[in-house]
């Protein structure tokens, strides 16, 4: 149980185009989802926290107009990188917290990540 998927796993796009990354909780409903960015050989950097039906909360320094996050349902959150540039190339990881509550209501379940390369 508690499986999170991401699609696509890898994407290459041209500079100036937009890319959408999907994060889905497959067997549970997620009130809260997180989006992380990871540079090579570095730790995860939290980009934003999204709650279903409300606007995402972005971390300081993250451009909300560039990284559009939509948490339209309890099982799907999307991250759209708009007008991508080579410096946006990175590994993007999402995670989700179950809305079921109970003793594991704090635990984040991670997706496998999406490798974005902007040429």
Partner 1 sequence: AQSVTQLGSHVSVSEGALVLLRCNYSSSVPPYLFWYVQYPNQGLQLLLKYTSAATLVKGINGFEAEFKKSETSFHLTKPSAHMSDAAEYFCAVSVMDSNYQLIWGAGTKLIIKP
Give, as ranges, the residues between 79 and 108 that touch partner 1 (CB under 8 A): 91, 93, 97, 103, 105-108
Cβ-count burial of 101 within 10 angstroms (0-12 exposed, 13-18 middle, 19+ buried)?
exposed
Residue 29: alpha-carbon gap to chain centroid: 16
Peptide bond into 31 cis (omega under 30): no
- The reply on whether position 52 binds partner 1 by CB under 8 A is no
Q: How far is the CB of 97 from partner 1 (least distance, A)?
A: 6
- The reply on whether position 42 binds partner 1 by CB under 8 A is yes
Q: What are phi and psi of 54, to 5 degrees?
A: -135, 170
User: Among residues 28 and 83, whose Cβ is nearest to partner 1?
Assistant: 28
What is the β-pairing status of strands 114-118 and 10-13? parallel
- The reply on whether position 113 binds partner 1 by CB under 8 A is yes
Name which position in 34, 35, 58, 67 contacts partner 1 (CB under 8 A).
Answer: 34
CB 80 within 8 A of CB 19: yes
Q: Applying CB under 8 A, which residues contact partner 1?
A: 6, 32, 34, 41-44, 46, 49, 91, 93, 97, 103, 105-108, 110-113, 115
């Amino acid at each position: 149980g508690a499986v999170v998927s991401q699609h696509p796993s890898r994407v290459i796009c041209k500079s100036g185009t937009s890319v959408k990354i999907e994060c889905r909780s497959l067997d549970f409903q997620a009130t809260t989802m997180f989006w992380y960015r990871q540079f090579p050989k570095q730790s995860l950097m939290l980009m934003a926290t999204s709650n279903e039906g409300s606007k995402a909360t972005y971390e300081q320094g993250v451009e909300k107009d560039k990284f559009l996050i939509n948490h339209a349902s309890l099982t799907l959150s999307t991250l759209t990188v708009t007008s991508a540039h080579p410096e946006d190339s990175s590994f993007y990881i999402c995670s989700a917290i179950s809305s079921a509550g109970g003793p594991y209501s704090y635990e984040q379940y991670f997706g496998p990540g999406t490798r974005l390369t902007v040429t």
